[in-house]
Chain A
């Protein structure tokens, strides 16, 4: 069975993201004064072969923790579905 994982990676809340901060300032100076916050992260899609949904989730969590994110500064959210 094939499963697709959608991974959203963002900087941990305690960390100031200079990218997002600069971009938000531009939005505000362009008249979008309602914008209160902006987050810029990474989005990844991965397809894996696994015998079950649970095992696919475990595998992709492992990929996230070991390779795709740096837990010191990044958090991630994962959604997995069969494809």
Chain B
């Protein structure tokens, strides 16, 4: 499977992400500079974490105008998979592939920590290797992780089962105490309506090897590979 890992000025997780794909999972992965405008030879596009354009104006706001964005939109329109991690998720909301927007964390602190997440929807191309309600321990690193969506759109997300991960405590309780940043409804990952674009705040690429503290993040990549394999066999 061939992955494109997009690099904007200020992106800083592209090498870790490409490492997981190439060295650990033995897939093809290229780091693609944001000034390129063609992704037609790739099966999946990942927008990795970092601070694209220094997070100037708003997170993801300036990345929106890079030439690669049109190619990402085209990729998504064709039904191919797009995964946005952290700043990648923020960019996906800015370009309108995912609903909502991000504000500063409610406690105004940068959060760099391992947190717990509950898998709410495991019937997506990105989460099929997890069980429903499985609790994952994954790292986050963000200042603007406070996900905002209005109440009508929230109802739509809930009704369509498009909330994929929620912040929870170690027992799986999605309480206010377990919400690190003020996100509406403890939302940590959201799917688009068609089901082929996922944005997630935690960093699965930083929790994919035992030496890094665990492998809870590996399942996202394995799910994608499984999905691709099944589609090829059809």
Chain A residues packing against B (C-beta within 8 Å):
11, 14-19, 22, 67-68, 70, 72-73
Contact = CB atoms under 8 A, between A and B. Distances in A.
B58 interface: yes
Contact of A18 (B57, B61, B108, B150): B108
Contacts of A68: 57
11 contacts: A16-B106, A16-B182, A17-B103, A18-B103, A18-B104, A18-B146, A18-B182, A19-B104, A67-B65, A70-B101, A73-B148
B94 interface: yes
Contact of A72 (B146, B148, B182): B148
Give the top 8 A-B pairs by smallest Cβ distance, nearest first.
A72-B101, A73-B101, A18-B106, A70-B101, A18-B108, A73-B148, A70-B58, A18-B104
B117 to A, nearest CB: 22
B107 interface: yes
A15 B65 CA distance: 26
Contacts of A72: 93, 100-101, 148-150
Given A72-B148, A73-B103, 15 more contacts: A15-B148, A16-B182, A18-B105, A18-B106, A18-B108, A18-B146, A67-B61, A67-B65, A70-B58, A70-B61, A70-B94, A72-B100, A72-B101, A72-B150, A73-B101
A11 B182 CA distance: 16
Contacts of B94: 70
Nearest to B182: A18
> For this complex, into which size category does the number of interface residues on chain B fall?
10 to 19
Interface of B: 57-58, 61, 65, 93-94, 100-101, 103-108, 146, 148-150, 182
A70 B65 CA distance: 14
Contacts of B65: 67
A68 B56 CA distance: 11
B66 to A, nearest CB: 13
A67 B61 CA distance: 7
Contacts of B182: 16, 18
A22 B104 CA distance: 12
Contacts of B107: 18
Nearest to A68: B57
A62 B105 CA distance: 29
Given A15-B148, A72-B100, A72-B148, A22 B108 contact: yes
A13 B149 CA distance: 14
Contact of B150 (A11, A14, A22): A14
A14 B105 CA distance: 16
Nearest to B153: A72
Contacts of B148: 15, 72-73
Interface centre among A15, A18, A22 (most CB of B within 10 A): A18
A22 B108 CA distance: 9
Nearest to A22: B108
